[in-house]
Structure 1
Amino acid sequence: MIKRAFSALFLVWALGFMWFVAALPQPANGERTDAVVVPTGGEGRIAQGLSVLDKGLADKMLVTGVDREVRPAEFAAQFGVSAEQLECCVTLGFAAVDTRSNAAETAQWVEDNEVTTLRLVTTDWHMRRAASELARALPDDVEVVRDAVPSEPSFASLFLEYHKLLASWTAGLIGL
């Protein structure tokens, strides 16, 4: 009986991992949202968020999880953001240190800015966990569009992220 239970559990885990790897989220279409949020940490995320702004698909952007030592002028120079665009449209969030606190920082910013539709830009392998944490932090009436940045993650990165996702889901189920 115990062998069967472990075998069934392993099968569910393995099938889940295959799904996780084979069906990575994709970039969003050209749907317009009030704002875009970009958690730091992955190549191409900030560039994609800025592209959303440049195309007029959102009016403002939060970059959450910015290192406290980064100055706005350094950010602007690194990513080619004009002083005007930084002033009007880009908020650098310094409070977050991980995916869960990215969601909390974003929820506060969404409330402060009266955002009702939000585009989440993050790496394809990170999208499910980031969206899950964000869904728990945001009010139910805020619509989130998932806009994944394609990447070529290593097996080790996918393996680790899958387990982080499982832990995140479990924490959500038990109310942590």
Structure 2
Amino acid sequence: MSVESAQPEPATPGTSKTDAIRRLRRVGHHGLRMATIATIIAIALIAMGFFRFTDIIADLKVTETPGDVDAIVALTGGYQRIDQALALLEDGVGERLLISGVNPSTSSAALRRATGTESATFDCCVDIGYEALDTIGNANETAVWIRQHHYTRILVVTNNYHIPRSLLELSQASPDVTFIAHPVTHADLKTETWLSDPVALRTLFVEYAKYSLARLRSWSGAKTASGLRADTGGDRPVSASLH
């Protein structure tokens, strides 16, 4: 008696095509699930980082007795920063003030009028820096000024949301100098009201993104532009001076 083994029927072109489509669909569905999970995790991490960033800002407090600083630097971005820095200088905090990142079209006379400060204060103790184009430029402009005057402790006056990135860039440019934050506050982040303010949300999130990129650049050691006006034109940067 002979036994004949069953032979598989040859796959038809239509069956092979259907199987291939099914495999592609399975791969596609798997890939979509993985991408969805990765997106959800990324959004969760960004949200956690953002709210941790706002908590850090909310906990910033003005130093009660900053009398032991050598000088003050105010990073431009609003006259309130300059007003507070000038008030501190007139109260005897530090021996000089650098206003960093001033637009070249703004004269010292215009700053005096806008802040209502006595001319004598500007004439004796205020330096105006016209070189900085951004926060990195502020740090490099301040570093030149610090080296000129041999300062070691600097009070930094800027908006509270700008403090983390400012201190990071300043410390990178002047690692041997101690920087003390003097935050200028526009909104109380201890309450929940800012969450319903689209302008505040946008401002904070943009600053969080910039701060995150600055930290990544610092960690990786990546090089960046100096942020100084003269460097963009190929000229040698000039130090901050009174105009």
Q: For 1:121-159, what per-residue CA distance to the aligned partner results, in whole angstroms no more than 9, with x for missing partners?
A: 00001111111111100132x111111011126111011
* RMSD of aligned alpha carbons: 1.7
Tell me how far apart the structure 2 counterparts of residues 86 and 14 of structure 1 sit (CA, whole Å): 44
TM-score (norm 1): 0.91
How many angstroms does 1:54 deviate by?
1.5
* Match status 1:150 vs 2:185: yes
Aligned to 1:116: 152
What SS class does the counterpart of residue 23 from structure 1 fall into? Answer: helix
* Larger radius of gyration between Structure 1 and Structure 2: 2
Tell me how far apart the structure 2 counterparts of residues 42 and 170 of structure 1 sit (CA, whole Å): 27
Taking the TM superposition and a 5 Å limit, the aligned residue runs for 1:8-157 are 8-24=41-57, 25-32=60-67, 33-140=69-176, 142-152=177-187, 154-157=200-203
How many angstroms does 1:37 deviate by?
0.3
CA contact (8 A) 1:37 1:49 kept: yes
What SS class does the counterpart of residue 140 from structure 2 fall into? Answer: helix
> Number of residues paired by the alignment?
175
Which stretch has the larger CA shift, 92-101 or 149-158? 149-158
Which structure has more RCO (C-alpha within 8 Å, separation ≥ 6)?
1
Tell me how far apart the structure 1 counterparts of residues 55 and 175 of structure 2 sit (CA, whole Å): 31
Q: For 1:95-135, what per-residue CA distance to the aligned partner results, in whole angstroms no more than 9, with x for missing partners?
A: 00111100000000000011111000000011111111111
Tell me how far apart the structure 2 counterparts of residues 43 and 92 of structure 1 sit (CA, whole Å): 14
How many angstroms does 1:6 deviate by?
5.0
Tell me how far apart the structure 1 counterparts of residues 87 and 210 of structure 2 sit (CA, whole Å): 29
What SS class does the counterpart of residue 154 from structure 1 fall into? Answer: helix
What SS class does the counterpart of residue 156 from structure 2 fall into? Answer: strand
Which stretch has the larger CA shift, 3-12 or 151-160? 3-12
How many angstroms does 1:169 deviate by?
0.8
More strand by share: 1
Identity among equivalent positions (%) equals 31
Q: What amino acid maps onto 1:147 in structure 2?
A: H
TM-score (norm 2): 0.67
Which stretch has the larger CA shift, 15-24 or 124-133? 15-24
Tell me how far apart the structure 2 counterparts of residues 12 and 75 of structure 1 sit (CA, whole Å): 43
